[in-house]
Structure 1
Amino acid sequence: MKEKKKSDVAVLLDYAGNRKGLTFLGLFFSAVSMLLSMAPYICIWLAARDLIAAAPDWTLARGVTRYGWIAFAFAFAGIALYFAGLMCTHLAAFRTASNIRKQGVAHVMKAPLGYFDANASGLIRGRLDAAAADTETLLAHNLADIVGTIVLFLAMVILMFLFDWRMGLSCLLAAVISVISMFTMMGGKNAQLMAEYQAAQDRITKAGTEYVRGIPVVKIFQQTVYSFKAFQEAINDYSEKAEHYQADVCRVPQSVNLTFTEGAFVFLVPAALFLAPEALADGNLAGFITDFVFYAVFSAIISTALARIMFASSGIMLAGTALGRINKVMEAPVLKSPDNPKVPHGNKVEFQDVSFTYDGSETPALSHVSFTAEPGQTIALVGPSGGGKTTAASLIPRFWDASSGSVRVGGADVKEIDPHVLMDQVAFVFQSSRLFKASILENVRAARPDASRDEVRCALTAAQCQDIIEKLPYGMDTVIGTEGTYLSGGEQQRIALARAILKDAPVVVLDEATAFADPENEVLIQKAFAALTKGRTVIMIAHRLSTVVGADRIIVLDKGRVAGQGTHGELVAAGGLYARMWADYNKAVRWKISSEKEAK
């Protein structure tokens, strides 16, 4: 039997945990408070009835004061109960939003690191934060208003048909027109517009994050606004969708809705004029006037009730799309842990007929790649841009899992090694290293949280960071990114190398770690490499061929395939792709700008 799909609200309530019951208690309080809020209107009608019956001697209407106090008591009780209900729903909503954020972060922590290359951190954060905020509004306010208003509306319908069904029906015409108008705005094909609106909001969040991060580069290279084309396009798309929904979809239905709900009394007057002759003929003019006063008072509730339903319904729509954005985070691929994990022995790295294709791509990034890095060897991956170098290296620490074949570390397939154990086996340094907004000590200690200050200091020394530490106001306790304390790209790279040295992993993956370093920093980084790679198996991605001349083995990758492998001398002698790349490299090194005299 097919399992019944849960509603969006039910799914969200599951995140509330042990506070889920508070939501239902809050809804009950809200419903009761709405019933209590109707009592003052009934008291007004009773007071009007007694006054009309006693006219012209008003002193005979002695129950009016009592009705006033009863109305006050019911109004006060309704307000108190409503606030009690909101307290319950807010407590549950806060727990729900908190659990969404916690579970979302916990889930993405289990995702392979390659997932974050395809999904910007700003997008993930925007999805979780904004979506959690939207669900908070729904569960704290909208849901209570919906339940309370539905109860209020049903009770109001019953009362309206209790005295004179004809005047009651005339008042409800405004409600019918309002419901039709709201469905026109929010139902049918227009419901899809809200999903498109949220998608546009996601894009503007992602583009905005990249915009802020790109400002330093734009300043350095004196770029113009065209550098932010993606951000501008995201803003325009968001603006167009918001304007279209407001101007083209909502303008006419909302105008009709407000006109008739705010003027519900207009329907009551013709009905009263039609019924007045009958009341005069029956001699029941006082009763007729009393009923008319009752419906005149109650017609004012229609506008309030329907406005609440409209805003609460829009909250449900927002929550539905928000849940969809939450699910996108929760559906992130999880790095599977083996049921019977194997322990790697040694630091030998093997690629055995490895193929890999990125999601959404038809062309393999790697195709039947095989090579071996013996313990203590340095293996260099070279080749044209897009050849598969970074992809191959990323399969070792399981940024992604190979589509076929196997990547082995210490004789065990990386898929069969516990992810935590594998991370202890592999250290990696990328082209662009990211440091936390924390002290140098904590940035380096992130590799091994239990490391002592002396161990961190030794790692910094091995990474040639003495000059960095000496110039900082508080040494390695200086917090990066505060009070004007910033590091250059090369300095950040050396701190990242200290982190890798402290980790003391037997396998090291280097993705052209000197790519953005100035000559002075590059010399120091090369010295740090010597400390980092000593006695370890090293997989090095290189774009500058001068850095791999001394590698034990060079793997040439082109279009995802191995185009050659061997030592530098062997590959140059073979005259293949590597030999051509080496010739081009040497030509580029000798190139210089000559003066006009030298040209002549």
Structure 2
Amino acid sequence: MKENKKRGISWLFELAGNHRILIVTACILSAISAVLSLAPYICIWYVVRDVFAAWPDLSAAAGVTWYGWLAVGFAVLSVVLYFAALMCSHLAAFRVEKNMRKEAMHKIVTLPLGFFDQNTSGRMRKIIDDNAGTTHTFMAHLLPDLAGAVVMPFAILALLFVFDWRLGLVSLIPLVVSVYYLKQMMGGDRGSIQKYMDALEEMNTEAVEYVRGVPVVKVFQQTVYSFKNFHQSIRNYKEWVLDYSIRCRSPMTKYTVALNGTFVLLVPVGLLLIAHAPDYQAFLLNLIFYILFTPVCAVMMNKIMRLAEGYFVAMEAVNRVTGLLDDEPLPEPARPQQPKEHSVAFKNVSFTYPGSEGKAVSDVSFVIPEGKTYALVGPSGGGKTTIASLIPRFWDVQEGAVEVGGVDVRHMASNSLMDQIAFVFQNAHLFKASILENIRFARPGASREEVLRAAELARCTDILDKFPEGLDTVVGTDGVYLSGGEQQRIALARAILKDAPIVVLDEATAFADPENEYQIQRAFEKLTENKTVLMIAHRLSSVRNVDCIMVVKDGEVKEQGTHDELLAQDGLYAEMWQEYQHSVEWRVGKEESHA
């Protein structure tokens, strides 16, 4: 189990940089403000004392006005200091939040691409965005209050025993009892907070996936229950909240009763003691002070409870971000090697996904000579995409070796390896930017003419012609939306512009209509010209003429050879081809019957 290298408040101070002095200043000012907030109660007690001493001639209570203004002065000064503390803490909090997001994003771009297959965008957004916001709230508000909450109990304890130790002790008993029940209620709070954050994270992840699938839900007139994971995540959160609330009900009730039950002890004990007091007037004044002051103790305890919960939530948020930062990028070689040519070889490769027990790829061996085109076919979940993703090091193999140009990919610098490979995913992702910038993303230094040439080779001319701004059309704004096949052609133009010697195609025509599939197949001819190609295909007609077809099932290469050779073997491929032919005949027959 990996351990966080960065933890808690010490890491937050590190992120604050030069602004950490503002955090210290905020805590000091907040602590002073908390102590000063008690001073008005003392001034009010002096007012009451002077009134008692001068009664019934109130004109003789000359100090009443002075103590009144002094109480106002302390209150105003306390507010001003607290406001100054918040100014300092907010400035530091913004710096911490910014640096936390930056460090997280810098870390993410170093992680292997396989990491993003196992971590959804909803989960990543929750980890980085929401937890950074939670940390900001903690630094801006809760940390200064926490400093005040640490100092305030000592000041209150001192005041409780200054005037009359007996009444102070009586006032302290309910506080001790309330602390006991508070500890009972929050004893397992760290674990509860972790479960709470887990439930929120799961619900957030599933909510993002649900929102993305709303068009499908509406088209097929389904409900939220169609997304069982989302519905279950809501139920899990509900059950956790209900269970936690029920568990806290009894201790919370006892805590509230104990905390607000000070007068149940204070008044009777005061009446008993006043009967034996040598100076009943002085004792009555002290009793009045405790009656005025003890509600502050209740406020203090409630504040501590709120701050403790906020502290646990913030530390759990920090731990989740540091947990992300603890994910290590794939190791870089000390002495990177360069491939001499552009072949691809798998040598007894086995791979198991993190957290999985069964092998996704088992003892796979094959060689794709430079300039040749090989295809992977087979049932879904058989390991085709996993095999393809091991070439650009989405993951590192546990057994065997993947070689490019005779060099183990683990011995190549990651930048050098990625320069060798163009990877076209089945789900093309376009940025909310111009078509020009989307294509140029493969090679930022490319000229406009080179981008236009790549677009033409990818059969994108008709796409550019239907928009007045052509290459400068911004995707995703002002009604500019592209179909799946059109997006795939833009992605192919991106790959053509990169001009990498090795091309990996992961079912690039999976979501294309017949017209777009024809255009994409034409673009493939330009993209794969004189390149080493590994393609994953589900339409067997698209791989009939490749140099070699490999049939993958259960993570193993069961058969390999040309189309005719595999048909002659009368094995798994021949069975797949026969099923494919039947499906084509069924589709054609259905179209003719409708005609």
TM range (shorter): over 0.9
The answer on 1:119 being equivalent to 2:110 is no
TM-fit CA distance, 1:242 = 1.6
Query: Which residue pairs with 2:163 in the alignment?
Result: 163
The answer on 1:150 being equivalent to 2:150 is yes
Superposed, 1:94-243 pairs within 5 Å as 94-188=94-188, 190-243=189-242
TM-fit CA distance, 1:313 = 0.5
For 1:178 and 1:8, how far apart are their aligned partners in 2? 28
Q: 1:469 aligns with which of 458, 464, 470?
A: 464
3-state secondary structure, aligned to 2:227 = helix
TM-fit CA distance, 1:4 = 13
TM-fit CA distance, 1:578 = 2.0
Q: 5+ residue gaps in structure 2?
A: none
The answer on 1:244 being equivalent to 2:239 is no
TM-fit CA distance, 1:16 = 2.3
Query: Which residue pairs with 1:508 in the alignment?
Result: 503
TM-fit CA distance, 1:112 = 0.8
TM-score by length of 1: 0.94
Query: Which residue pairs with 1:343 in the alignment?
Result: 338
3-state secondary structure, aligned to 1:591 = helix
3-state secondary structure, aligned to 2:365 = strand
Query: Which residue pairs with 1:52 in the alignment?
Result: 52
3-state secondary structure, aligned to 2:371 = coil
TM-fit CA distance, 1:124 = 0.9
Aligned residue pair count: 590
Q: 2:259 aligns with which of 232, 257, 261?
A: 261
3-state secondary structure, aligned to 1:278 = coil
Q: Is the 8 A contact 1:264 1:302 kept in 2?
A: no
For 2:460 and 2:59, how far apart are their aligned partners in 1? 95
For 1:78 and 1:408, how far apart are their aligned partners in 2? 69
For 1:12 and 1:238, how far apart are their aligned partners in 2? 29
For 1:531 and 1:259, how far apart are their aligned partners in 2? 79
The answer on 1:367 being equivalent to 2:362 is yes
Q: Is the 8 A contact 1:138 1:312 kept in 2?
A: no
The answer on 1:435 being equivalent to 2:434 is no
3-state secondary structure, aligned to 1:517 = coil
Q: Is the 8 A contact 1:174 1:261 kept in 2?
A: yes
The alignment yields a C-alpha RMSD, in angstroms, of 2.1
The answer on 1:81 being equivalent to 2:76 is no
Cα shift readout 1:570-593 (whole Å, capped 9, x = no counterpart): 222233322222232223222247
Cα shift readout 1:481-516 (whole Å, capped 9, x = no counterpart): 112211111111101101111111111000111111
Q: Is the 8 A contact 2:424 2:506 kept in 1?
A: yes
3-state secondary structure, aligned to 2:370 = coil
TM-fit CA distance, 1:470 = 1.1
Q: Sort the Cα spacing of 1:42 and 1:484 in 2 relative to 1 into closer, same or farther, 3 A.
A: same
Paired residue type of 1:511: D
Cα shift readout 1:95-148 (whole Å, capped 9, x = no counterpart): 222222211111111111111111101111111112112222222222221221
Q: Sort the Cα spacing of 1:225 and 1:56 in 2 relative to 1 into closer, same or farther, 3 A.
A: closer
For 1:562 and 1:181, how far apart are their aligned partners in 2? 64
Query: Which residue pairs with 1:537 in the alignment?
Result: 532
TM-fit CA distance, 1:180 = 2.1
Q: 2:476 aligns with which of 474, 481, 489?
A: 481
Cα shift readout 1:164-216 (whole Å, capped 9, x = no counterpart): 1111122222322321232222113x542222111110110010010011112
For 2:69 and 2:248, how far apart are their aligned partners in 1? 43
Q: Sort the Cα spacing of 1:238 and 1:498 in 2 relative to 1 into closer, same or farther, 3 A.
A: same
3-state secondary structure, aligned to 2:158 = helix
Q: 5+ residue gaps in structure 1?
A: none
Identity of aligned residues (%): 51
Q: Is the 8 A contact 2:6 2:322 kept in 1?
A: no
For 2:479 and 2:250, how far apart are their aligned partners in 1? 55
For 1:313 and 1:203, how far apart are their aligned partners in 2? 24
For 2:502 and 2:522, how far apart are their aligned partners in 1? 18
TM-fit CA distance, 1:263 = 4.8
Q: Is the 8 A contact 1:30 1:144 kept in 2?
A: yes
Paired residue type of 1:158: A
